[in-house]
Structure 1
Amino acid sequence: MKRFVLLVVVAGLAGGGYYAYRNQRAGTQQAQASAVSGPRAVPVEVASVETMTVNEEVEALGTLAADESVIIASEIAGRVVALGFKEGERVKAGQDLVKLDTAILDAELKQALADLGLARDTNERLRALVQRGSGTQVALDESTARLASSEARVQLAKAKLAQSTIVAPFSGVVGLRSVGIGDYVSVGKPLIVLTSIDPIKVDFRVPEIYLSRVKVGQPVQVRVDAVPDRTFTGQIFAIDPVVDVNGRAIRLRANVPNGDLALKPGLFARLSITVDQRENAMVIPEMAVVPDGVGKMIYVAENGKARRVAVELGKRLPGKVEVVGGLKPGMQIITAGQMRLRDGSTISVKEKPVQTSQL
């Protein structure tokens, strides 16, 4: 029995040693095979560097304002006899808006004309007498002065008569009236507001760092919450020469075509100003950029290897980003799998699946 147990123990030790020897030999052969075949390639996806036009824009907030706006008031007192407009409608320059009663003014003009005629006849008779030597120069001078005074009164009466009809000084839209037919208006009483809103102006500000980059004639894109489904295009036409010391900002003014009168003065506006346009700018997918301790970097695929390249980024676009330094057009950029790479890693490029349409 003791011999049998001893034989079992010896057989177990021999089997364990053989098993350990075989595993060690297999691991050594596998390591040798890996060393011969080289490091395993990392599967990646690549894309080419694109070139496109990139617009550098500045965002700003502003307020819409009328191109011209005046309060129409009467220069003389009188009773309103006619209105030549409807509230909220467009009127043209020179169109009659309000007419006042002219009965008293017509009478004053006739009296002034009669006085002028008498003064002219008297002046002519005295002039003839002086020429014949039977009149005095003093009487002629007094008559000449009365003639000039009569002519002035005629001009005044005609001016008052002309002011009895109030006309639109420019084309625009009239607001709500505060006068009706039969009302007696005094001098200077506000009657209506006339506003020109085509084109309409927009006042806005940008930080002072853009002083050298904003110019008259630059296009602006305008959006308002009241018309959310439209974008309006305007143009800068004035730049305030004084920088606001409180906000360190530049005041600008642009005009926007408003033929359908969709925009109204006082609306809040969001603006986008194109301050620069770069042709043939290099653009890459945003997913290709890898954060680095110093800056931004990407991996370029070259001859089956991944090369680490530091880049300088510009404007960010939807799903893409502009590269202003570090790349050349046509380079192959690694867009997927780069988190497993090191500089000089072996790569294998995966083909993107071709999308087929199903009929």
Structure 2
Amino acid sequence: MSATERPFLPLLALLLVLLGGCGEKKSEAPRPEAPAVPVLLGEVTTRRVELILEQVGTLTARHDVSLRSESEGRVVEIAFREGQPVRKGEVLVRLDAARVRANIVNFEAQISELNARLENKLRTLERNRPLLDKKLISQLQFDNLETEIAEVRAQIAQARANLVGEEVRLADTVIRAPFDGVAGVRTLSSGDYLKVGDPVVTVVDLDPLEISFQVTEKFKPKFSLGQTVNLQVAPYPDRTFSGRISFLSPRVDEATRTFQVKAQVDNGAKLLSPGLFARVTVITDVFAEAVTVPWESIIQTEQETYLYTVQDNIARKVPVRLGRITPQWAQLLDSELVPGSAVILEGKFASRDGGRVAPKSPSAPGGAQE
């Protein structure tokens, strides 16, 4: 090597060192830890929970009849006032019964005359019996007398039947309330002539009323006679009316898989009316110490329902199955959460399973926005 090449050797070595250093992998800096999510906490509690089944139905009257005339005649008295209570047996309308009464008097006189004739012929028969034994009269004469007696008896029977018919007609000229109720609209006037079958007035029994509704077959074991039902109707949105189950259908409809339930509803105040649409609620189960959480803690998606609990400022995802739900709380079914456990109310959508959280006071300003 010449003397002129020696000064370049140190420079070449330095260049090789620099190039080798450029190929070395740099060490990664540690990632910063995710900040804790600010959360507002609630608490797992226990309470009495009633599971309520809701159905709808229409109120009807147990007795609602349109009375019709069973006799012909002119209206001589209208004794009811429309919309007013009537008692069973109370007279509502009277028809002219003068002709019927005259017929009754006539048939009574006819029966009296026939009875007198019968008695006379019976006495004659008894007087002729010894004569027949002594052959003083023929058997034919005696038989004719017995035939006459039979004919008179038949005439008496017919007259009595006619009398009964007229007495029925007389009773039918007085139209009475068949049960306690309320009289409907008045459509008659004095002097109107009614024929058999003409409408007179409607009478409706308003207390108690009845409601009928359908229930899915799976709830059949939850229903029993005498069980309480509650109702709400649009005219009185702030009032609840109660009744008791009076009928449970023994059959389940094969098409709808439901069975019919009827309940009698107390209507002593006469606030309810037949035809009203009602929302019916029935308690089907009672849990004395049900596990519940604030409704704000629940997260529901198409795939699952869950919430977050917090322990040592760490969020834990817990799948849950819900029972009864209200705007304030939700019942947890088959839950292992114990009363007093903390659950996330605000900040739940920003939380993650195993992530750190920072509980805050409910009165603290600001907070995480969901």
Structure-1-length-normalised TM-score: 0.77
- The worse-fitting range, judged by mean Cα deviation, of 149-158 and 178-187 is 149-158
- The offset of 1:321, in angstroms, is 0.4
Q: 2:175 aligns with which of 166, 181, 184?
A: 166
Q: Which residue of 2 aligns with 1:111?
A: 106
Q: CA deviation at 1:90?
A: 1.1
Structure 2 unpaired stretches of 5+: 1-28, 130-141, 365-370
1:151 aligns with 2:151: no
Query: In the alignment, what sits opposite 2:63?
Result: 68
Q: Give matches, 1:1-359, under 5 Å.
A: 44-134=39-129, 136-291=145-300, 295-302=304-311, 306-336=315-345, 337-339=347-349, 341=351, 350=360, 352=362
| Paired position in structure 2 for 1:20 | none
Give identity over the alignment, percent: 31
- Measured after TM superposition, the shift of residue 105 of structure 1 is 1.2
Give the Cα–Cα distance (whole angstroms) in 2 for the partners of residues 291 and 267 of structure 1. Answer: 37
By how many angstroms is 1:334 displaced? 2.0
Separation of aligned partners in 2, 1:166 and 1:294: 68
Deviations 1:252-293 (A, max 9, x none): 322222223222222222322332222221111122234589
Q: Distance in 1 between matches of 2:258 and 2:96?
A: 53
Measured against aligned partners, the alpha-carbon deviations of 1:184-219 in whole angstroms (never above 9, x if no partner) come to 111111111111122122233334443443443333
Q: Which residue of 2 aligns with 1:24?
A: none
- Scaled by the length of structure 2, the TM-score of the pair is 0.75
Q: d(CA) in 2 for partners of 1:309 and 1:246?
A: 40
Instruction: Tell me if structure 1 keeps the 8 A contact 2:43–2:294.
Output: no
Task: Give unmatched runs, 5+ long, in structure 1.
Answer: 1-27, 355-359
Alpha-carbon contact 2:297-2:344 (below 8 Å) kept: yes
Q: Aligned equivalents of 2:76 and 2:301: distance in 1?
A: 81
* Higher radius of gyration, 1 or 2: 2
- What is the CA RMSD across the aligned residues, in angstroms? 3.0
- Counterpart-to-counterpart distance in 1, 2:106 and 2:64: 39
- In 2, are the aligned partners of 1:218 and 1:275 still within 8 Å (CA)? no
- From the superposition, tell whether residues 180 and 290 of structure 1 become closer, same or farther in structure 2 (CA, over 3 Å): closer
> Within 1, Cα distance between the matches of 2:58 and 2:238?
18
Does the CA-based 8 Å contact 2:310-2:344 persist in structure 1? Answer: no
The residue type paired with residue 127 of structure 1 is: L
